[in-house]
Chains A and B, each alone.
Chain A
Amino acid sequence: MTKQTPNAMPQQPTVEATTPSTGRAKLATADLITIGVFTALYFVMVCVATLASTLFTGGFGSIFLPAIAALISGCVWMLMVARTGKFGGITVMGVVIGLFLFVSGHFMLSFVASIVFPVIADLIARIGHYKNKALLLVSYVVFSYGLTGPILPLWFMKDAYVASLEARGKDAAYIDGVFANINTGTFFLSMGAILVCAVIGGWFGQRMMRKHFIKAGIA
């Protein structure tokens, strides 16, 4: 990068869309637009994850949706944070995703999850001024739990589910049989998968940042 190059076309200098990041500044309109673009990409990743998750695990497949999304969205998230680098960016991304999930008919709790986890993720990343690699990775892992909203009813709506089954004349033994499949074991399996996948996805994202975006002078 430091090489003097006989460049035929003058290099368009890399333009920082925002003021140099201190982690303190307020989000400007340009930051909000950047967040919007990357949120759209994140949303695409969620759609891909939904598709993959349904293909691989069938009916109850969506329990691995957040994990798969976490695995493939690391680059998108890391670049978004590098491009904004201000408090609020991660939160806004989460809120907008939650809003679209809610409006498209997902369970209301998903909205809560996609606010709470991103806010925590934002606070964690802020400690490291949005630069500290380890904290960013932790932040990404926490953020990834924001997508658990759509699948939470599988466990937390158990009472309602049991009631529905009873209303349809199913006996207790039958209901216990059903919950052999949907027990706390699968809950921890799903949550554990998110942790592992988010670490791998975040690490992959940081690797891509170094390999491409920092080298190309974009982040």
Chain B
Amino acid sequence: MNNDDPTIRSQHVEFTYDGAVEPAVHDTSLAVEPGECVVLCGASGCGKTTYTRIINALVPSFFHGAFSGRQYTCGLDTAGISIDQLTPLVGSVFQNPKTQYFNANTTDELAFPAENMGYTPEEINRRIGEVCERFGIAHLMDRSIFRLSGGQKQRIAMAAAVVLSPKLVVLDEPTSNLDAAAIADMRQMIEELKAQGMTVVIAEHRLAWLNGVADRYVVFDGGRIVQDYAAEEFLSLGAGCIAAMGLRALDLEPYRAKIRLLDQPVESSDAVVRTRGLRIGYRGREAFARPVPDMAFHAGQIVGVMGGNGCGKSTLVRTLTGLIEPLAGAVELHGKPAKPHDLTRAGFMVMQDVNYQLFSDGVRDELLIGLDDTNPQIVDQANKVLASLDLAPFAERHPMSLSGGQKQRVAIASALMSGKEFIVLDEPTSGLDRFHMEQVGRLLRQLADQGKAIAVVTHDEELAAGWCDRIINLERSL
């Protein structure tokens, strides 16, 4: 390959997944020059993820379907090679930090690509040392990956992707599960790659963190490239224009300012759930404990629980829903001290991975678990709940065949059905585009208007500023 040749050259590529009717990517042509940093953006389902798979040859060698057109990555025609030939040329980072590492140990994970290439132990260790120094992750070496935070896992994934010094790094929504500090680390790593002269392609919803790093923004819609902006051009677009394209905000500062305003304690009575002198944490091997300021959750209000990873957000909401016992202090339900058991009965949590909380083989059946499904009144109520959450057309479908957002709504529907009054959502908007984020926001408002007390654990500034009535920042009140 010539040094002047584009790193990526797509000529009329088109791909339809097996079993799908519509192509995921339509007649797309693009060239990316060496050293460029290109952001692929657009709403969910616009084809950007599929396009990254075309670039790194996962399409068509792993994801099967009908592929046409020509794709040259680092000078190789991806139709004519096995995916292994791209290993030393292209590094890939994926969305979910929990499922993209192959080894249980961090150093093994970094060694993994080099071991597969058959390098000598000396060479492998030299490369690991080099990457550690470049990214400042030496302190993460020789540890169990299971015990790292999501942000640390994603840094390891980044390092593993570049350990072979590839020409191109392809990232598919790498920050969807990360907090602000971890995203800042990601940005630093991308800057480092650029300084090395690597070509970087990032498919992303969240755009603000890439300001000043990206050279080019390519906007996808309906499987096609609709716009191709130089960075200055794109960044000068108005916020309204960005929103109209269904993209997330380019500047988070207004949202952060609003969040600071919302971060005020309130004095009032008749809270659904209230804490007094609460101390949360775990005993035993992974001991962790911290006091939390007294807080209250009222019917009709949406409270955002924010703060960086590891400040105890999940521990707090697990305590509030009675899944774990408080170390000290009390949680009150309607002004009366409540046992964990009572809290579990009154509260509900929509987990970040909602797949764990759907048990039935049909959406309506999911709502009727534990209830008498021969009672027409109950079935009628279930149908009403489904209709109110736009789930009526899916009543007979298997919950696992639905999209992420629909699954979330099924879980919420099950909570409404059993008359829960305190509903917690854990990171409901991770990986969502603007449209779906706003859909979640409207859903929260709808639930609050029905008289539920809502708590939402989130890193998403746009959701928090746009839809929360109050913010509790656990990091600040430490």
Contact = CB atoms under 8 A, between A and B. Distances in A.
A104 interface: no
Nearest to A28: B62
Nearest to A6: B393
Of the listed residues A6, A211, A216, the one surrounded by the most CB atoms of chain B closer than 10 A to its CB is A216
B20 interface: yes
B63 interface: yes
Nearest to B404: A9
Interface residues of A, number: 23
Interface stretch (B255-263, B266-274, B394-402): B394-402
A1 B401 contact: yes
15 contacts: A3-B393, A3-B396, A5-B394, A8-B406, A11-B401, A13-B17, A13-B20, A13-B65, A15-B18, A15-B64, A16-B64, A30-B62, A215-B398, A216-B398, A217-B401
A212 interface: yes
Contacts of B64: 15-16, 19
B439 A8 contact: yes
Contacts of A16: 18, 64
Interface of A: 1, 3, 5-17, 19, 30, 211-212, 215-218
A190 to B, nearest CB: 34
A212 B399 CA distance: 9
B344 interface: no
Contacts of A1: 397, 401
Given A5-B394, A8-B436, A212 B400 contact: yes
Contact of A211 (B20, B361, B396): B361
Interface in B49-74: 62-65
Contacts of A10: 44-45, 403
A12 B49 CA distance: 11
A211 B400 CA distance: 12
Interface in B8-23: 17-20
A14 B19 contact: yes
Interface in B263-289: none
Contacts of B400: 212, 216, 218
A9 B405 contact: yes
Interface of B: 17-20, 24, 44-45, 62-65, 361, 390, 393-394, 396-401, 403-406, 436, 439
Given A8-B403, A8-B405, A19-B64, A13 B19 contact: yes
Nearest to A7: B403
A215 B44 contact: no
Contacts of B405: 8-9
B464 to A, nearest CB: 22
B45 A212 contact: no
Of the listed residues A10, A211, A218, the one surrounded by the most CB atoms of chain B closer than 10 A to its CB is A10
Contacts, number: 62
B265 to A, nearest CB: 37
Contact of B62 (A7, A8, A11, A17): A17
A216 B406 contact: no
Please give me the 4 A-B residue pairs with the lowest Cβ-Cβ distance, nearest first.
A10-B45, A9-B403, A13-B17, A216-B400
Contacts of A6: 393
Contacts of B361: 211-212, 215-216
Contacts of A19: 64
A156 to B, nearest CB: 36
Contacts of B399: 216
Nearest to A15: B63
Of the listed residues A16, A17, A211, the one surrounded by the most CB atoms of chain B closer than 10 A to its CB is A16
A105 B406 CA distance: 47
A138 B65 CA distance: 34
B405 to A, nearest CB: 6
Nearest to A9: B403
Contacts of A211: 361
Contacts of B398: 212, 215-217
A7 to B, nearest CB: 7
B394 A11 contact: no
Contacts of A11: 20, 401, 403
A15 B403 contact: no
Contacts of A13: 17-20, 24, 65
A146 B417 CA distance: 46
A15 B435 CA distance: 25
A134 B390 CA distance: 41
Of the listed residues A1, A8, A14, A212, the one surrounded by the most CB atoms of chain B closer than 10 A to its CB is A8
A211 B403 CA distance: 19
A9 B45 contact: yes
A10 B22 CA distance: 10
A37 to B, nearest CB: 10
Nearest to A19: B64
A3 B44 CA distance: 22
Contacts of B396: 3
A7 B406 CA distance: 9
Contacts of B24: 13
A147 to B, nearest CB: 25
Contacts of B19: 13-14
A30 B82 CA distance: 14
